Structures are given as structure tokens and as C-alpha cells.
Amino acid sequence: MFRNTKRRTAGRKNFEAPVFSHGTLDSYLNNVYHGSKLTFYTLPPAGEITLDEFETWAIDRIKILNEIESCSVRNKGYKEIESIVQPMIQSTLPLNATNPEKLNKERQKDYYSHFILRLCFSRSKELREKFLKNETILFKIRYNALTSSEQQQFVKSLDMPWEFTTEEEKSALSQKLYASISSSLIYLLNLTDEQQRRAYFAQEEFIKIPFEYVAHLLPSRSVFLSKGTAYLPKFQQLQLLLNEYNQKLSTALISTSHAFPSLDEDDRILPILTHLSSGALLNLNDNEYGLSENASDINAVSVASKEIVSQFPLCGQHLMATLQTNHHLKYNGRQQFTLFLKGVGLSLEDALTFWANEFTKSMGLDKFNKEYKYNIRHAYGMEGGRINYKPWDCRTILSKPRPSKSDSHGCPYRDFSADALATSLKGMGLDDRDVQQVLDMSGKGEYTNACTKVLETKIGGGLNEHVVHPNLYFDRMRAHTKQKQQQVAADA
């Protein structure tokens, strides 16, 4: 399915997939898409792609799925999710090129990225459920972006066991059909007026489908059933498609999980899949944080001020509080906090002053210079290999050993007890309802989602990104605070 442009593949197993000519690839992609912009991904991918494409295509798709997950966790409605995710789809996974060659490349990326992520997400029940939910939402967003004619073209390509009723059939069953959908017209389409409902019914088409495909609708009596055939209004067509897509993908993921052990012999794929699946859980993000955009007033004194510290994420606030209480941090805590403050905008000179001011409250200056000054300079790339170390992102923090009782590094959403976390959140100004939501997320292992929820609560909503880096939290919180200050000054 893929090729490595830099490594020899001779003698490797599982590398007998055919290399398609351009024409054959065209035929294959037309067969899986049937001229549509959607597919149920029923045929396995064939042909070759590079390992670089294997990873980068999957990462692009993971970013979209992670954004859907983030929006869902923050209780955003479907319309909000659609408005946020649609631009990402057009940017990274479009299927609308007019040039045939470019369209084939878009289709190939979409098709392969889906199957690559099946491998990543099939390895545990948690990952399978997450992938299933978010891929179904992605399918729904794409379907709703199609024109009516494109939607019907896609439905015809599926060869589903349904057909539309004729006008004669609808007329003969009109009373029973109307009775079956009347409540749905009220609660789903908000048509409270009887005349409106009658007018809608007169224009609506109905689908005939074997009842087993809509068994979930039978208890609610929202479907008319006759002789094993169910009659549904066209406006429920999307739900039929979502159910079918969800069922097929669920079955495929189970099959993939059974086949996964056969990949153990391939040392090219497994490291990539491991990296991708960890990114799926922790949410990949392209942003690298070096110096904050809002760092002009950050110095050795102001960085410890109440105003600045209140804009730190909880991990930063905890490290600062521990440092100011004990006038010392153990190694992992020093590493995490030094690089975080570097990302906040603290210069090397101010960093040395800041750390010396705190540490010399519990030791002499000579000891500080001898045992700790070098490590701070090293973190800023001024000693040793002179590497410009970047602040730790959430993935790095969570990969470190859990802190012992005397440690202060790590992620509070993972490492604090429920009582300690609740107390800290209330100290940040969250009300009981928001505190409980954050505790629930942390209890499920959704640590970055919990941090994102806190930031969104602090800035009053409107956050359209996921916190996967402590310095991202600070940047957004700092920008929000400055905006509020400027507004107050303008109103004065």
C-alpha cells in the first residue's frame, strides 16, 4: 500500500501491492467514489504511497477529528461544530477540485487517511468508539455540504435496499403516512401549525425500506410499517445513512483490530501508528511556542505578580505556588517551569534573576550559582550542545513520570486528587457546575479537554481551538486580559 523512498524494501513481507498506472488509479478511485464526493470506504486501498504520505495524510485527518472531539466535549451544538470544522476540511481534506489529476490526489488522500486511522484507532475499545463517533460527524458535515442533486447521486451509488414511493402509493397511504410523521414535524422541524405540517407533507417524498434497517424507530412509532416495509419521510434520509455508515464502520474496526497483530513484523509502520495514536489521544497541534506574543512587560518581577500568574494554566500556577512556598523545585519541576517561563517571554537575564531571588531565600547565592545556574542557561541554549529547547507541550508533560509527594511537575488534571483539583478550580473562579464538568473530564482521562474547558470558562466562551500546550493557554488568556483592559480604558 505504500513505499519508502529512502529505504530498501526488497525481501520485506506485505509489500506485494500492485503499482497502479495513472489510468488504473483513475478507474479505482472512480469505483470507490462513483463520481461522488462521499464514500462509505468499503473497498480496501490499493497501490502504493510513500511513508511520508502515510504519516502526513493521517495527521491532517486526525487534526479534523480532534477538533470535532474538542467541540463535542465543550458541548457545542452541531451547527457550531460544522462552522468550525468545515474550513478545516476545505483546507486539508477537500474533495472539490475541478482538475481530474488534482481531484484524484484529493480522493486518494481522503481514502488512505481514513484507512490509516482505522489501524490507529482499532487497537482499543476507547479509540474505536472515539473514531466511530467523530468520523460519523465528519461524514454528516460533508453530506450536508453537498447540493441536493449531489446527495441523491451519492445515495444512488450506495445501492441501498430502498426506493421512493410513487405518487399513487403516497396518495393511497396518505392518512397513515401523515399520522406517522406528524409528531416528527413538530419536534424535529418545529412545524407547530397544522396547516404548515399539511403543506410540508404534500411536498415530501417517502422512502420504502426493509423494517430491519429502522428497528430503532419502531418503539417510538415514528415510522409507518406495512408488510415488513417501513415508510420514512425524505428528511430522515440522512439519519438512515448515518446509521448504515456507523454500523459498517463499527464492523470494519472490529475486523481491523483482529488483523492488527499481523503488523508486528513490520518495523516501518508500528512506530508511526504508535505516534499517531498517541497524537489522537492528546490532540496533535502544529503550533510551537517559543516566546509569547504578549511578552513585552514580562520580567523577573512581573512574572511572579498576581496578574500574570492568574493567566497561567493550572500546572503553571501550581509550580509558581510551590516555588514561592518552598523556594525550591525538584529537577522535573524546574525543567517544566523554566521552559514554560521561557515560552511566556522571560529572557535569560530575567530568568537568572527570578530563579536566584527565589532560591536564595533557602540557600546561599554561591550554592545557587554552582548547582542551578548552569541548568537555566542550558535550557536557554547557552551551555552544552546549545540547543534552543522549546517549552513542554501537554503530550510531553503527560509522558513524564507521575510526581511523587515531594514533586510538583506534571498535569494537575491527571495528578491531583478530586478534592484538591476541585479546590484549585474554585480558587480560579469556576462555579460548582463548571468544576464538576472539569472533574468528569479529568476522571475520564480527558486532561487537555479539561484544561480547554477551564480556559473557555475563564474567557467567557468563544474559544475555537483545543489547548494542547500550557503556553497556548497563557497566550490566549493574556490576549483576553489585555483586550478587556483596553476596552475599559476606551470606555473611561
CB distance 341 to 376 below 8 Å: no
315 is in an annotated binding site: yes
- Which residue has 493574556 as its cell numbers? 478
120 is in an annotated binding site: no
What's the one-letter identity of residue 323? L
CB distance 51 to 272 below 8 Å: yes
Rounded to the nearest 10 degrees, how much is the dihedral formed by the CA atoms of 286, 289, 293, 298?
A: 160
What cell does 373 get? 545556574
Concatenate the DSSP letters of all residues of 256-279 into one string: HHHHGGGGGG-TTHHHHHHHHHHH
CA angle 151, 156, 161 (to 5 degrees): 120
- The whole-angstrom separation of Cα 413 and Cα 438 is 8
Q: How far is CA 348 from CA 66, 338, 373, in A?
A: 35, 10, 11
Identify the H or E element spanning 224.
Answer: strand 224-226
Q: How far is CA 416 from CA 54, 407, 441, 450, 473, in A?
A: 38, 12, 13, 13, 19
Annotated binding site: 315, 394, 411, 451
Annotated binding site for [4Fe-4S] cluster: 315, 394, 411, 451
